[in-house]
Structure 1
Amino acid sequence: MNKLLLVLTGVLALGSTLYLLSNQSSNLRLNIENDITIQWKLFKSRFNKRYADPITESYRLQVFASNYLRVLSDVTGTFGVTQFFDLTEEEFAATYLTLRVQRNVNATVSSPSTPKGQYDVNWVTRGKVSAVKDQGQCGSCWAFSTTGSVESALIIAGYANQTIDLSEQQLVDCSATNYGCGGGWMDNAFEYIEESPLTTNSNYPYVAVDQACNSTEIYGVLYSLSNYTDVESGNTVQLKQYLQQQPLSIAVDASYWYLYNSGIFSNCGQNLNHGVLLVGFNSTEGSWLVKNSWGTSWGEQGYIRLADGNTCGLANAASYPTVVPPITSY
């Protein structure tokens, strides 16, 4: 973004912020302005934010102020300052909400073996979920959702332990039916893994940019699938049944997740734009537990709780892989 555009956009952002503040009493407005100043300093320190020049920083401050006012007006108690608060909604979406949804004809469709009944499960506390990762400024959520579900399936099957760390970069670089940092789809990634087993992140490290596929880094213990299964779209009961067996890759509307801090979230629509991992359900509090790929400083140590039901469209495009014993390649 050039400096002139930054200035013009900053003026608009400032005008919008000042308009909102102008509706407050003078004392309250002063308190809010002071609060924003303090929170801005804390934000830059906590997330190690650095800007190229004063013009850029001034603009980012106005974006931050606009987002912070949304926190102050939140009645749900789920909003809070995140690492994305110096981004506009449009900037956030362009980088992080890049899922390309499609339902593939090659997916297995079957009925869950778990009977209807009690659906409470938490795969995190069971030790069957790998560590939270950070996709960085790359639209690779689909790759992290894919590896997350494969990693959990491998742990549950006894083929790996909780420290397993599969290579998202291999998917970004080598899954030709996806678009790398420009977005992708979990089912396409599952199909790639069926044909081309995944190596680990230590062999093929994540760099958060598109690269040419490097087959020389795909070696050692390799992990593959026999197939994958799509869950009936919109069927939350079936989704809960499948969740008893293993975590699932799901697509969600994460348009306002950049505002999420903690609690049970429900401020979303059905525009599927982000890939994540469904890892639990709690009937007592009426919530799903979802693992994200924005690092542990976001949300509840990298997780978000969503209200029971088809919140954020989480049941509209769910799938899970069936793993096979790993092989070794030299």
Structure 2
Amino acid sequence: MNLLLFMTIYTAQSLTTGVPSISLLDEWEVFKTSYNKRYASRREEAARLSTFLANKEKIEQHNAKFDRGEVEFTMAMNQFGDLTREEFAKRMNGYDRAGRMKIKPSFFGNELPIRAYPPGAYIADLFPYGAIPSNVRDPDDYLNEAAIYVAPPENVQLPAEIDWRTLGAVTPVKDQGDCGSCWAFSATGSLEGQHFRRNGSLVSLSEQNLVDCSTNFGNNGCDGGLMDHAFLYVKVNRGIDKEDAYPYEADDSRCRYRTDEVGATDVGYTDIPQGNEKALQAAVATVGPISVAIDASSDHFQFYHKGVYYDPTCSSEELDHGVLVVGYGTDKLTKRDYWLVKNSWAESWGDMGYIKMSRNRHNNCGIATAASYPLVK
């Protein structure tokens, strides 16, 4: 690296802001060490340094707005500090909005419906976590035919807040790495929660199993996919392996599914009415962790740290990232309603891997646009 050029930049900043306790050079070295950054050449490192400094300035400007009460969340430097917004979105956001409800016609020679299932009944309320009534036909047939979403009765009062982490239904935060497999982490998270509610045991499931083995269902491994496609794969495959038997590799590989290492199964999935935050709240409260897709393309999201996230520029239709809603509540300081969302970018991102996203603010970032959960019997 051209140290003279770097020190010129550093000196210019020091003259206007005062000498910081840690120099920019030290900050850059700490950043590289903390996140194990390696660059192929000095030219590449110089380019990454330039991006790092630009991101650092964005973060500081945003946090100054927070201090003035103009925004309600803070930002912080993290492992994505050397990526531009465009690079970040391309690398990390793998939700395939364009592929929603498109499924390849065969899997190991078995014919599949092109449209999977229509939006299913609210089966958790029709048959709450117990035996399915004897007058109901086979659940698979029922789910194939159900097309009406049945919400909880109006006289059922939902809790003001819920956090499925405290109830034992959420595994620790995971890390998708340099792979657009967010959809797989969202899907396993929802299935882990449903398996816990049915069986009382929390089993970490294999995202790599989905990355490697669900391509015939419309998913594309590290190049993107859909949670619903993952749920359908698990149904037809009659299971998904446990994470410890099929560990994550952050890369596409051959399918190595083992029938003797199954951690969970499902019988299909239910799509929650599009854009309906009240329906999403009911599902989170009565069903458990719910898979959702959001617009996470903003650099505000890239460097989110704490507070209730709201982005007026967010799209409710152009979704690019799969995450998991594990609860909801109201912020005690700002009185803002929020969704408690588990991400798959390690604990070094956000608030220990989580983000509070705005709730009841016109479906901000599309959090209720493509919500679904697997059905486990």
Note the alpha carbon deviations across 1:296-316, whole angstroms, 9 max, x for none. 111111111112222211011
Name the aligned partner's letter for residue 169 of structure 2: K
Distance 1:168-1:218 versus aligned 2 partners, 3 A rule:
farther
Structure 1 segment 174-253 matched on structure 2, within 5 A: 174-175=213-214, 176=216, 177-196=218-237, 197-215=239-257, 217-245=258-286, 246-253=288-295
Determine the C-alpha separation between the residues in 1 that align with 2:294 and 2:160. 21
Q: Offset of 1:158 from its aligned partner?
A: 2.3
Query: 1:70 offset after TM fit, Å?
Result: 0.5
Residue equivalent to 1:53: 41
Pairwise CA distance, 1:90: 1.4
Q: 1:288 to 1:252 in 2, by over 3 A?
A: same
- For residue 282 of structure 1, what is the aligned residue in structure 2? 329
Matched, 1:42 2:83: no
Gaps of 5+ in 2: 1-5, 66-70, 102-114, 122-148
Map 1:25-104 → 2, pairs under 5 A: 27-28=15-16, 31=19, 36-74=24-62, 75=65, 76=71, 77-101=73-97, 102-104=99-101
Could you say what the CA RMSD is over the residues aligned between the two structures, in angstroms? 2.5
Instruction: Write the distance in 1 (CA, Å) between the matches of 2:167 and 2:159.
Output: 17
Flag the 1:32–1:266 CA change in 2: closer, same or farther, 3 A: farther
What 5-or-longer segments of structure 1 have no aligned partner?
1-13, 325-330
Q: 2:86, 2:26 → 1: CA distance?
A: 25
- What's the % identity of the aligned pairs? 39
Distance change in 2, residues 1:281/1:293 (3 Å): same
Q: Specify the SS of the correspondent of 1:142.
A: helix
Distance 1:117 1:203 in 2: 38
Count of residues in correspondence between the two structures: 303
Normalising by structure 1, we get a TM-score of: 0.84
Structure whose CA Rg is larger: 2
1:35 Cα offset (Å): 5.2
What is the rounded CA distance, in whole Å, between the counterparts of 1:126 and 1:118 in structure 2? 14
Residues 58-84 of structure 1, C-alpha deviations (whole Å, 9 max, x = no match): 111100011111011102342110100
**CA distance in 2: counterparts of 1:33 and 1:70, whole angstroms:** 20
Q: 2:188 matched to 1:147?
A: yes
Q: What is the CA-CA distance between 1:39 and the residue it aligns to?
A: 2.7
CA drift at 1:281: 0.6
CA distance in structure 2 between the partners assigned to 1:34 and 1:220 by the alignment: 50
TM-score normalized by the length of structure 2: 0.74
Partner residue in 1 for 2:207: 168
Stretches (4+) displaced over 6 A: none
AA partner of residue 212 (structure 2): D
CA-CA distance at 1:32 after TM superposition: 7.5
